[in-house]
């Protein structure tokens, strides 16, 4: 009978806990969770005609008068359920796209999420009415100086309004309106049978099948038909019916109508058939009065040609072509799971579900994906498959793909996913339809940016997208947006950026730095190049730091800056672009002529009246303690500095971290660094050892298992028969509490330096190999590695198995105590 035993235990170094308690005031804590949101579609309508503006009112209740609330709304696609949360809920936001030609004659694609924001302060209730116009202004001008616009709502779609209320980026409540339908949807497929021309005293028959009606019951769709006498223009017969309730239709959805011969004397007639939505006929011109045109063939549809041969209007023969498919059809729904950013040595997984492929087998559809290294533009991994035959998918149609970590060293990557039809990628042809641009490829190619992070940094934070978003304005300057995500809650983050000429990268034209403490888990900065006098190829470069670590990620991109006309004024506020510090905002209260909004300052000391009144200073006195250079709390930070940093001029240590505001580099963020800032988290480190049980817990360098890294493939060691300790020596450089587990069994928790081990006892009947998994973490970063033990046998051609583990957990005060106890045994 084989015997097998594994005991786990922990040996902790002496630990002295020094508790530093900071009592930090959380203002308005009672505000969270009591607020209410009501969203009303104006007029209570569930339907808006095509070309009609849409408006709604947001009503907030039970607000705290001392809290600054941020209120955001989004237009959501209605799919049968209502959820106003687009961050963690089921609000599918509407993305607007429009191609335009910029000042450099380059074709660009503008993208924007349809939504907006307002700030609610000063009352227990608040309301705001919002109008969604027919054409949405994307805030960009084209080569002709015209605003770039795109239709806000799509004809024949169902929507609702989602609203989220936040405080300092933290969501506390969400709400949603009732759903509504927009525009017109539906057309008819008609089978005239043999009803070309007919003889007198013959009945006239035809069959109608309505197609692409509204998918919900928000509106009523009615099928209408009428027959008009061409000579008199009089309607000789007509009818209508609701296809959702009758009359009786065939299993194919066809409804056959027969017009009696008594209504049709000899003559010429016209049959018209159409869909009526909520009592509204289809329009014949668009919102601009232009003729409504439609593509002759629909993208992604199957057709064939039918031919009829007649003599004097009497059909004598018919024929048809073979069927054919037209255009491209299909896009992918992708679930990225937790695969935002990942640590080095971690695999990257995502799931794909193809949608709306061709319904027939006339063509072959293939799902394609590839991952590109952003730095080299090289494809590091790719694959394709036919979804009709495999590979094996879940019952939902999802197919999960895992990219091995060996293909993804530290860096920035882009995942692209698309459908290929008969060997053809989505067409890049841009079609003009009804005065609007339709870029099909842009809408069906799924693209996702992610980063692989060095685990030594102890964070997943990175730039997203990997490159800054640079928008060229019509006057020759650029707007640059740099965004970061997956930030560590409680950690100090710093973003340093520089603008330079491409040929002199070490000479900064302009630079700045911004720092903050998460949450929120995302952040972005925006800057403009309109104040620069340099022209040519300019570049923006940024570095992200977390605490004292970094840079943990970098990004760089360039653009062509042209000379800016001294008369250029992009936002039309009367301040020339070359002097405008807010070049895209046309503020009216701009007393210092810098292009930005100015608060009221009665004594002109640089301190707004509202701030002075709030802090018991005299807004009409610019001298002494009330002026910009006054320092009523004697913390070496004058009133102007307190205003700029949003600190309290009557409290020498606003953030209560024992560092006076005048010396504190993070005035509003408590931290235990010498500069008053938080210290970034560093992950715990673990060294792995093994030793004979008879030698005790020998955690010495000569017994180290090499090449053990978090997330790496299992390290294999060969051992002769016997009893062995697998030992982990872990320490957190920040003094955070470390937890360790072996094979998912917790061993120790709550100390910052620890030695823990697992005892393996096997004999000649044991199995040939066994994997030991070790997990450790500090509450912020969790890491894992594994070791495979292979037992050496006298006969190298055979091996046996370790069948299982028994777990005994003990904690002993010091390493020497553990060795002593073992010797006494």
Query: What pLDDT, on a 0 to 100 scale, did the predictor assign at position 793?
Result: 57
More confident residue, 284 or 798: 284
Q: Specify the pLDDT at position 434.
A: 46
Residue limits of CATH 2.60.40.1930 in the chain: 331-453
Kindly tell me if the per-residue pLDDT of 821 is higher than 60. Answer: no
User: What tens digit of pLDDT does each residue of 198-250 get?
Assistant: 888 888 888 888 877 777 777 788 888 899 999 999 999 999 888 876 555 44
Q: Contact at 8 Å (CB) between 763 and 721?
A: yes
Displacement of CA 228 from its chain's centroid (Å): 55
Q: Does the domain made of 5-11+681-824 have the CATH classification 2.60.40? A: yes
CATH topology of domain 456-561: Immunoglobulin-like (2.60.40)
pLDDT: which is higher, 257 or 311: 257
With a pLDDT cut of 90, the percent of the chain lying above it is 13
CATH code 2.60.40.10 region(s) in the chain = 456-561
73 pLDDT band, cuts 50/70/90, is very high
29-182 CATH, one of 2.40.30.60, 3.40.30.10, 3.40.47.10, 2.60.40.2550: 2.60.40.2550
> Fold for domain 187-324?
Immunoglobulin-like (2.60.40)
Per-residue pLDDT at 10? 42
Task: Check pLDDT > 50 for residue 806.
Answer: no
In tens, the pLDDT along 325-383 reads 777 777 777 877 655 678 777 888 888 888 777 777 788 888 889 999 988 889 999 99
Q: Encode pLDDT of 125-144 as tens digits.
A: 888 888 898 888 888 888 77
pLDDT digits (tens, 9 = 90+) for 514-555: 888 777 778 898 999 999 989 999 999 999 988 777 788 889
Averaged pLDDT score across all residues of the chain: 77
**Residue 731, pLDDT above cutoff 80:** yes
Q: What is the average pLDDT across 664-679?
A: 81
- pLDDT reading at 21 higher than 90: no
CA separation for the pair 477, 470 (Å, rounded): 10
Instruction: Please answer whether residues 775 and 744 qualify as being in contact, where contact means their C-beta atoms are separated by less than 8 angstroms.
Output: yes
CA dist list (Å): 586 to 118, 241, 571, 625: 17, 54, 5, 35
| CATH number 2.30.110.10 is the correct assignment for the domain at 331-453 | no
Residue 711: is its pLDDT beyond 60? no
Share of the chain above pLDDT 70, in %: 79
pLDDT-derived band of residue 817, with 50, 70 and 90 as boundaries?
A: very low
Q: What is the mean pLDDT of residues 575-579?
A: 87
CA dihedral sign, ordered 231, 233, 237, 243 = positive
This prediction's pTM: 0.42
Distance of alpha carbon 260 from alpha carbon 251, whole angstroms: 25
Mean of pLDDT values over 9-31? 35
Model confidence at 635, pLDDT cuts 50, 70, 90, reads very high
Over residues 239-259, the pLDDT tens digits come to: 988 887 655 544 457 888 888
* Phi/psi of residue 693, nearest 5 degrees: -60, -35
Q: What does the pLDDT read at residue 356?
A: 76
Statement: residue 809 has pLDDT above 60: no
**Per-residue pLDDT at 792:** 67
- How confident is the model over 766-794, as pLDDT tens digits? 556 677 888 888 777 777 788 877 766 55
Cα 776 to Cα 701, 737, 742, 745, 786: the distances in Å are: 21, 10, 9, 11, 12
Residues of the chain within CATH 2.60.40.2550 domain(s) are 29-182
* Per-residue confidence (pLDDT) for residue 779, from 0 to 100: 77
**Residue-by-residue DSSP string for 776-809:** EE-SS-EEEEEEEEEE--SSTT---B--------
CB 697 within 8 A of CB 660: no
């Amino acid at each position: 009978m084989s015997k097998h035993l594994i005991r786990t235990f922990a040996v902790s170094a002496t630990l002295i806990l020094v508790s530093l308690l900071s009592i930090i005031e959380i203002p308005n804590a009672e505000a969270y969770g009591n607020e209410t949101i009501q969203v009303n579609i104006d007029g209570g309508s569930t339907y808006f005609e095509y070309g009609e503006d849409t408006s709604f009112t947001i009503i907030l209740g039970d607000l705290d008068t001392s809290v600054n609330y941020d209120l955001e709304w989004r237009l959501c696609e209605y799919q049968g359920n209502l959820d106003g949360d687009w961050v963690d809920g089921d609000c599918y936001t509407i993305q607007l796209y429009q191609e335009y030609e910029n000042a450099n004659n380059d074709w660009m694609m503008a993208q924007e999420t349809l939504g907006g924001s307002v700030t609610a302060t000063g009352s227990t209730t608040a309301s705001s009415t919002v109008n969604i116009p027919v054409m949405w202004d994307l805030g960009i001008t084209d080569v002709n100086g015209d605003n770039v616009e795109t239709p806000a709502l799509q004809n024949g779609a169902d929507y609702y309004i989602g609203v989220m209320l936040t405080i300092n980026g933290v969501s506390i409540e969400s709400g949603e309106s009732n759903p509504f339908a927009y525009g017109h949807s539906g057309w008819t497929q008609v089978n005239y049978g043999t009803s070309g021309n007919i003889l007198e005293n013959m009945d006239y028959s035809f069959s109608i099948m309505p197609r692409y009606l509204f998918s919900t019951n928000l509106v009523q769709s009615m099928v209408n038909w009428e027959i008009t006498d061409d000579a008199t223009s009089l309607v000789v017969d007509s009818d209508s019916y609701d296809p959702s309730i009758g009359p009786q239709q065939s299993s194919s959805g066809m409804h056959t109508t027969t017009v009696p011969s008594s209504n049709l004397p000899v003559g010429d007639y016209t049959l018209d058939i159409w869909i009526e939505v909520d009592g509204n006929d289809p329009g014949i011109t668009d919102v601009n009065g232009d003729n409504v045109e439609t593509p002759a063939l629909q993208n992604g549809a199957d057709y064939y040609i039918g031919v009829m041969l007649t003599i004097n209007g009497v059909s004598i023969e018919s024929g048809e072509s073979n069927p054919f498919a037209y255009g491209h059809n299909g896009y992918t729904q992708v679930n990225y799971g937790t695969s935002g950013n990942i640590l080095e040595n971690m695999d990257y997984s995502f799931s794909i579900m193809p949608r709306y492929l061709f319904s027939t087998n006339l063509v072959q559809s293939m799902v394609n994906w590839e991952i590109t290294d952003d730095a080299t533009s090289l494809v590091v991994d790719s694959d394709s498959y036919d979804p009709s035959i495999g590979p094996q998918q879940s019952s939902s149609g999802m197919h999960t793909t895992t990219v091995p970590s060996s293909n993804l060293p530290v860096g920035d990557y882009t995942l692209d996913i698309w459908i290929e039809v008969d060997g053809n990628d989505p067409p890049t042809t841009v079609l003009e339809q009804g005065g609007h641009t339709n870029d099909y490829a842009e809408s069906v190619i799924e693209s996702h940016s992610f980063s692989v992070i060095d685990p030594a940094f102890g964070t997943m934070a990175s730039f997203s997208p990997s490159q800054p978003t640079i928008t060229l304005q019509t006057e020759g300057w650029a707007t640059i947006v740099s965004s970061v995500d997956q930030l560590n809650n409680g950690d100090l983050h710093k973003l340093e950026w520089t603008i330079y000429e491409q040929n002199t990268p070490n000479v900064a034209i302009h630079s700045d730095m911004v720092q903050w403490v998460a949450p929120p888990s995302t952040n972005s900065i925006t800057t403009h190049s309109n104040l620069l006098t340099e022209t040519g190829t300019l570049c923006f470069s940024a570095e992200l730091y977390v605490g004292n670590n970094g840079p943990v990620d970098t990004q760089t991109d360039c653009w062509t800056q042209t000379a800016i006309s001294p008369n250029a004024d992009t936002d039309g506020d009367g301040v020339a672009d070359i002097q405008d510090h807010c070049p895209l905002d046309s503020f009216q209260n701009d007393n210092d002529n810098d292009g930005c909004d100015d608060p009221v300052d009665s004594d002109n000391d640089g301190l707004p009246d509202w701030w002075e009144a709030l802090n018991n200073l005299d807004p009409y006195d610019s001298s002494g303690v009330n002026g910009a250079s006054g320092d009523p709390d004697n913390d070496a930070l004058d009133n102007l500095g307190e205003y700029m940093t949003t600190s309290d001029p009557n409290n020498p240590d606003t953030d209560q971290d024992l560092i006076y505001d005048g010396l504190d580099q993070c005035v509003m963020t408590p931290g235990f660094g010498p500069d008053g800032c938080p210290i970034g988290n560093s992950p715990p480190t673990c060294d792995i050892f093994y030793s004979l049980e008879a030698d005790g817990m020998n955690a010495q360098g000569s017994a180290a298992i090499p090449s053990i890294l978090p997330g790496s493939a299992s390290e294999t060691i060969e051992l002769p028969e016997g009893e062995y300790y697998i030992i982990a020596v872990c320490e957190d450089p920040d003094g955070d509490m470390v937890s360790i587990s072996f094979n998912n069994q917790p061993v120790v928790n709550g100390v910052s330096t620890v030695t823990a081990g697992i005892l393996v006892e096997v004999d000649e009947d044991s199995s040939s190999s066994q994997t030991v998994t070790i997990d450790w973490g500090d509450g912020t970063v969790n890491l894992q590695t594994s070791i495979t033990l292979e037992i050496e046998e006298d006969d190298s051609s055979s091996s046996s198995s370790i069948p299982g583990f028994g777990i005994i957990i003990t904690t002993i005060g010091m390493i020497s105590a553990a060795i002593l106890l073992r010797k006494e045994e």
